Structure 1
Amino acid sequence: MGTETAEEARGALRTRLGALRELVGLSRTRLEEQVLAEAGRVLEDAAARERLPPVYTTVAIAGATGSGKSTLFNALAGAQLSEIGVRRPTTATAVSCTWEAGRHEVGPDAVLERLNIPARARRRAHVMDAALRGLILLDLPDHDSVDTAHREQVDRLLRLVDGVIWVVDPEKYADAVLHERYLKDFAGHAEVSLIVLNQTDRLPRDAVEAVLDDLRRLLDERGVALGEHGEPGAAVLAVSALTGDGVAELRAQIGELAATRTVAARRVAADVDGVAKRLGPLYVADAAGAPDGLTARAREEFEDRLAAALGARAAGQAAERAWLRRADRACGTPWAQVVRRVAARRAERRGEPPALAARAGDGPPPPPVVSRAGVDQAVRRLAAEAAEGLPEPWGRAVREAAREGAEGLPRELETTLEQHPAPPVPRPRWWSAAASGQAFLLAAQFLGVCWLLAALAGQPVVGRWLPLALLLAGSVGAPLLAWACRAAARGPAAAWGQQEEWRLRRLAADRGHSQVLEPMAAELLRYREVRERFVIAASPSGGAEFPEDGA
Structure 2
Amino acid sequence: MSAVTDQDPTEHSDQPDDDAHEAGSPAGRGTPDGERARRTHSSTACTDPATAPTGSAEAWDDGLIARRVSETAEGSRFPLTDSRSAAPSTVTPLTYEGQLRDRLEALRELVGLSRTRLDSRTLSEAGRVLDEASARRRLSGQHTVVAIAGATGSGKSQLFNALAGVAISETGVRRPTTAAPIACSWSDGAAGLIERLGIPPRLRRRPLPTGDGESPLRGLVLIDLPDHDSAAVQHRRHVDRILGLVDAVIWVVDPEKYADAVLHERYLRPMAAHAEVMFVVLNQIDRLPGEAAEQVLDDLRRLLDEDGIALGEYGEPGATVLALSALTGDGMGELREALGQFVSEHGAPNRRISADVDMAAARLWPVYATQRRTGLSEQAREEFSDRLADAVGATAAGEAAERAWLRNANRACGTPWLRLWRWYQDRGEPTTGRLPSRTQADEEATARQRVEQAVRTVADRASAGLPAPWAQAVREAAVRGSQGLPEALDELTVRAGVPTGRPPRPGWWPLAVLVQASMTIVQFLGGLWLLGQIIGVMAPNLGVPVLLMVIGIVGGPLIEWSCRMAARGPARRYGLEAERRLREAASGCGRARVLDPVAAELLRYQEVREQYGRVVGAGR
TM-score computed with the length of structure 1 as normaliser: 0.90
1:398 aligns with 2:474: yes
- Kept in 1, the 8 Å contact 2:94–2:136? The answer is no
Which sits farther off after the overlay, 492-501 or 144-153? 492-501
Aligned to 1:122: 204
**Paired residues for 1:195-274 under 5 Å:** 195-274=280-359
1:187 aligns with 2:272: yes
Give the superposition deviation at 1:137.
0.4
Matches of 1:137 and 1:16 in 2, distance apart?
Answer: 29
Give the superposition deviation at 1:411.
1.4
Matches of 2:415 and 2:395 in 1, distance apart?
Answer: 31
**Paired residues for 1:296-445 under 5 Å:** 296-346=378-428, 371-423=447-499, 424=501, 425-445=503-523
Which sits farther off after the overlay, 497-506 or 63-72? 497-506
Change (3 A) 1:332 1:368: farther
Which sits farther off after the overlay, 186-195 or 301-310? 301-310
Aligned to 1:68: 155
Matches of 1:251 and 1:36 in 2, distance apart?
Answer: 39
Match of 1:85 among 172, 188, 203: 172
Match of 1:34 among 111, 121, 128: 121
Aligned to 1:537: 615
Give the superposition deviation at 1:458.
2.0
Give the superposition deviation at 1:32.
1.4
1:173 aligns with 2:274: no
Larger radius of gyration: 2
Matches of 2:581 and 2:430 in 1, distance apart?
Answer: 31
Matches of 2:388 and 2:318 in 1, distance apart?
Answer: 58
The residue identity in structure 1 corresponding to 2:378 is A
Match of 1:44 among 99, 123, 131: 131
Matches of 1:268 and 1:198 in 2, distance apart?
Answer: 28
Aligned to 1:17: 104
Aligned to 2:16: none
- Kept in 2, the 8 Å contact 1:312–1:505? The answer is yes
Give the superposition deviation at 1:298.
2.1
Matches of 1:378 and 1:217 in 2, distance apart?
Answer: 58
Matches of 2:351 and 2:610 in 1, distance apart?
Answer: 22
Does the residue aligned with 2:296 lie in a helix, a strand or coil? helix
TM-score computed with the length of structure 2 as normaliser: 0.80
Gaps of 5+ in 1: 1-5, 102-106, 357-366, 544-551
Aligned to 2:23: none
- Kept in 1, the 8 Å contact 2:182–2:225? The answer is yes
- Kept in 2, the 8 Å contact 1:92–1:141? The answer is yes
Aligned to 2:572: 494
The residue identity in structure 2 corresponding to 1:387 is S
1:521 aligns with 2:599: yes
Change (3 A) 1:114 1:7: closer
Give the superposition deviation at 1:296.
2.0
Matches of 1:319 and 1:396 in 2, distance apart?
Answer: 42
Which sits farther off after the overlay, 444-453 or 145-154? 444-453
- Kept in 2, the 8 Å contact 1:9–1:262? The answer is no
Aligned to 1:164: 249
Structure with the larger RCO, 1 or 2 (CA within 8 Å, 6+ apart): 1
Give the superposition deviation at 1:227.
0.9
Does the residue aligned with 1:58 lie in a helix, a strand or coil? strand
Match of 1:57 among 144, 147, 161: 144
Aligned to 1:549: none
1:96 aligns with 2:183: yes
Does the residue aligned with 2:175 lie in a helix, a strand or coil? coil
Aligned to 1:359: none
Give the superposition deviation at 1:418.
2.1
**Paired residues for 1:141-152 under 5 Å:** 141-152=226-237
Matches of 1:539 and 1:131 in 2, distance apart?
Answer: 36
Matches of 1:439 and 1:275 in 2, distance apart?
Answer: 88
The one-character-per-residue Cα deviations of 1:192-223 (angstroms, maximum 9, x if unpaired) are 00000000000013001110111111111111
- Kept in 1, the 8 Å contact 2:252–2:281? The answer is yes
The residue identity in structure 2 corresponding to 1:522 is A
Which sits farther off after the overlay, 408-417 or 528-537? 408-417
Which sits farther off after the overlay, 520-529 or 123-132? 123-132
Which sits farther off after the overlay, 293-302 or 81-90? 293-302
The one-character-per-residue Cα deviations of 1:127-184 (angstroms, maximum 9, x if unpaired) are 3553211110000000011111100011000000000000000001011111100111
Gaps of 5+ in 2: 1-92
Does the residue aligned with 1:196 lie in a helix, a strand or coil? strand
Give the superposition deviation at 1:277.
0.4
Matches of 1:18 and 1:349 in 2, distance apart?
Answer: 77
Matches of 1:336 and 1:131 in 2, distance apart?
Answer: 116
Does the residue aligned with 1:228 lie in a helix, a strand or coil? coil
The residue identity in structure 1 corresponding to 2:225 is L
- Kept in 1, the 8 Å contact 2:497–2:578? The answer is no
Which sits farther off after the overlay, 498-507 or 239-248? 498-507
Does the residue aligned with 2:315 lie in a helix, a strand or coil? coil
Matches of 1:522 and 1:63 in 2, distance apart?
Answer: 51
Give the superposition deviation at 1:397.
1.0
- Kept in 1, the 8 Å contact 2:94–2:138? The answer is no
Give the superposition deviation at 1:376.
2.1
Which sits farther off after the overlay, 28-37 or 136-145? 28-37
Which sits farther off after the overlay, 434-443 or 110-119? 434-443
- Kept in 2, the 8 Å contact 1:276–1:537? The answer is yes
Matches of 1:47 and 1:348 in 2, distance apart?
Answer: 88
Matches of 1:421 and 1:378 in 2, distance apart?
Answer: 21
Aligned to 1:546: none
The residue identity in structure 2 corresponding to 1:325 is R
Match of 1:136 among 216, 221, 232: 221
Aligned to 1:548: none
Which sits farther off after the overlay, 502-511 or 141-150? 502-511
The residue identity in structure 2 corresponding to 1:507 is A
The one-character-per-residue Cα deviations of 1:479-536 (angstroms, maximum 9, x if unpaired) are 0000110111111111111112211111111111101110001000100111111111
Aligned to 1:509: 587
Aligned to 2:74: none
Give the superposition deviation at 1:368.
10
- Kept in 1, the 8 Å contact 2:281–2:324? The answer is yes
Give the superposition deviation at 1:332.
0.8
The one-character-per-residue Cα deviations of 1:393-414 (angstroms, maximum 9, x if unpaired) are 1111112211222232211111
- Kept in 2, the 8 Å contact 1:20–1:39? The answer is yes
The one-character-per-residue Cα deviations of 1:248-278 (angstroms, maximum 9, x if unpaired) are 1111111122111111111111111111001
The residue identity in structure 2 corresponding to 1:311 is G
Change (3 A) 1:369 1:485: farther
Matches of 1:87 and 1:46 in 2, distance apart?
Answer: 38
- Percent identity among equivalent residues? 56
The one-character-per-residue Cα deviations of 1:58-81 (angstroms, maximum 9, x if unpaired) are 000000000000000000111111
Change (3 A) 1:209 1:427: same
Match of 2:360 among 262, 275, 278: 275
- Kept in 2, the 8 Å contact 1:195–1:237? The answer is yes
